[in-house]
Amino acid sequence: MAAKLVAWSLRNRFLVVVLWLLLVAAGVQHMVRLPIDAVPDVTNVQVQVLTKAPALAPLEVERLISFPVESAMAGLPDIEEIRSVSKFGLSAVTVVFEEGTDIYRARQLVQERLTEVREAIPEGYGSPELGPIATGLGEIYQFEVR
């Protein structure tokens, strides 16, 4: 098989060179149009819901805040996963959408569900709010200014 391919290539040198030049030209064309970024964002679309609940233990934060927020977000379209962290006085629920979802559409969907969730959380235990637009890379450091 290989011997036949080599023999054909030797007989049709001009065609082989033309095909090779076409492949090189296509490669150069794609290389020129390739977007280059120093630190490309390879994370998925994430919307974070933050709720401050002073004086609540992590178990209470999970039961009274994180669980209702997660339950309300579970029915949204194009969701890949929902994860949460419940700490002393803080609930952070991250809703991860499928690749290609518009971040503003995702935030709008989450915001619409938050109006329902606010009614389910007992008064005095905080109000869930959307976090800032950020990616997984952008949340390496989180500062609070007082």
Are residue 51 and residue 25 in the same domain, yes or no? Answer: no
- How many angstroms separate the Cα of 15 from the Cα of each of 8, 19, 42, 87, 110? 10, 6, 41, 68, 58
Q: Over the stretch 34-85, which tens digit does the pLDDT of each residue have?
A: 888 776 667 788 999 999 988 889 999 999 999 999 999 998 999 999 999 9
* Residues whose CB is less than 8 angstroms from the CB of residue 42 and which lie 6 or more positions away in sequence, other chains included: 137
Question: Does 143 have pLDDT greater than 60?
Answer: no
Question: Does 4 have pLDDT greater than 90?
Answer: yes
Are residue 86 and residue 132 in the same domain, yes or no? Answer: yes
- Give SS3 for 129: strand
Are residue 123 and residue 98 in the same domain, yes or no? Answer: yes
The percentage of the chain sitting over the pLDDT mark of 70, rounded to a whole number, equals 90
Average pLDDT (10-24) is 95
Are residue 86 and residue 61 in the same domain, yes or no? Answer: yes
Are residue 13 and residue 83 in the same domain, yes or no? Answer: no
Are residue 130 and residue 81 in the same domain, yes or no? Answer: yes
Q: What would the two tokens of residue 76 be?
A: 């949204």
Average pLDDT (107-135) is 88
**pLDDT of the residue at 132:** 86
Are residue 50 and residue 25 in the same domain, yes or no? Answer: no
Q: How many structural domains does the chain have?
A: 2
Please, are residues 120 and 72 in contact by the beta-carbon 8 Å criterion? yes
Are residue 118 and residue 50 in the same domain, yes or no? Answer: yes
Please, are residues 133 and 45 in contact by the beta-carbon 8 Å criterion? no
Nearest to 91 by CA among 120, 122, 63, 119: 63
Domain hosting 132: range is: 45-136
Are residue 25 and residue 86 in the same domain, yes or no? Answer: no
* Pairwise CA distance, residues 139 & 128, whole Å: 19
Give the model's confidence band at 120: pLDDT under 50 very low, under 70 low, under 90 confident, else very high: confident
**H helix or E strand, kind and range, residue 97:** strand 90-97
Q: What would the two tokens of residue 113 be?
A: 């569900």
Question: Does 142 have pLDDT greater than 60?
Answer: no
